[in-house]
Amino acid sequence: MATEHFQRGQVIFREGDKSQEAYFIVNGLVEITINTSHGVQPLAKIGAGEIFGEMGMIMDRPRSATATALENTTAEVISEDDFEHQIVQRPDRLHVYLATLFERIRKTDLLLTTSTNATVPLQVKPKAAPVPKEPVFRVKLRSEADGTGLNHEPVSKTITKLPFRIGRAYFDTAVSSLARNDLSIEEQHPYQLSRNHCEIDFEQGRFILRDRGSKLGSWVNGTHVSVDAGCISSALQTGENKITLGNADSPHRFTLTIEELQ
């Protein structure tokens, strides 16, 4: 297969372009965005070992989203003829592909839901806004006292990958291993957490907590973040942030500390 190299900020393809190939990322990071009635909305960030651009190629339709390199990226180019051999017949790549696909479907469904609800304010990225240079931060997530529920080890993590996805651990279905979570928390019924609950991300020069379509939402420094509350994301401040996953009285309480290093 041919290999292509993309510079940070380079548009790999745009929504509406003709689809002729898919890409397997060898190294780097790519953001997938779509145009909605609320403006450009991020759909996914695709990293090493993941695939993008395959749907338009398979369905012989124009690109349904725009792909932009967030950092210098190297990708293998996959033709339609190579797709089955390189992906479908390789369990290691197929597993990652399905997990990525499910996450995109879930995110698209959430965007469609909020786009039809006029009371839900979505973040709109100005078309002419420059891409902000990301400063250097240290981000730590620590559970408070019984913040992971009874009889569970406390959480203390330094977040080095974004988006950082959080959800309920589950093992009752065959697709449990496809949950796109960086932190899976075990709990018993009645559940406060959803399997795909929320994520920590960095966009437009700031850190945010974004809901992933959870049932109960989250609380960020006293603000309720959920589709039903009319707010699917909340900005995080430099310093300490108090986060509760689920209802306001949920035991899943965390402190997220954002420290600017320079």
CA 186 vs CA 62, 99, 213, 218: distances in Å: 41, 20, 19, 17
| Degrees, nearest 5: CA angle 227-243-159 | 105
In this predicted structure, what is the pLDDT of residue 150?
45
Is cis: bond before 163, omega within 30 of 0?
A: yes
Q: Are strands 253-260 and 239-245 parallel, antiparallel or unpaired?
A: antiparallel
For 179, the enclosing helix (H) or strand (E) is: none
pLDDT at 80: 78
The span from the first CA to the last CA of the chain, in angstroms, equals: 41
The tens-digit pLDDT sequence of the chain (262 residues) is: 789 999 999 999 999 898 888 898 999 999 988 887 777 888 778 888 888 888 777 767 788 889 999 999 999 998 877 877 777 677 777 767 776 776 666 666 655 554 444 333 334 444 555 544 445 778 899 998 654 444 456 889 988 777 888 998 876 544 445 556 889 898 888 899 988 899 998 877 889 999 988 899 999 999 999 988 888 899 999 999 999 999 999 999 999 999 887 6
Tokens of 19: 């689809």
pLDDT at residue 134, as a whole number: 46
Distance CA 122, CA 171 (A): 33
**What is the structure's pLDDT at 262?**
61
79: which DSSP letter? -
Check residue 224 and give its pLDDT: 96
Q: Residue 104: exposed, middle, or buried by beta-carbon count in 10 A (0-12, 13-18, 19+)? A: middle
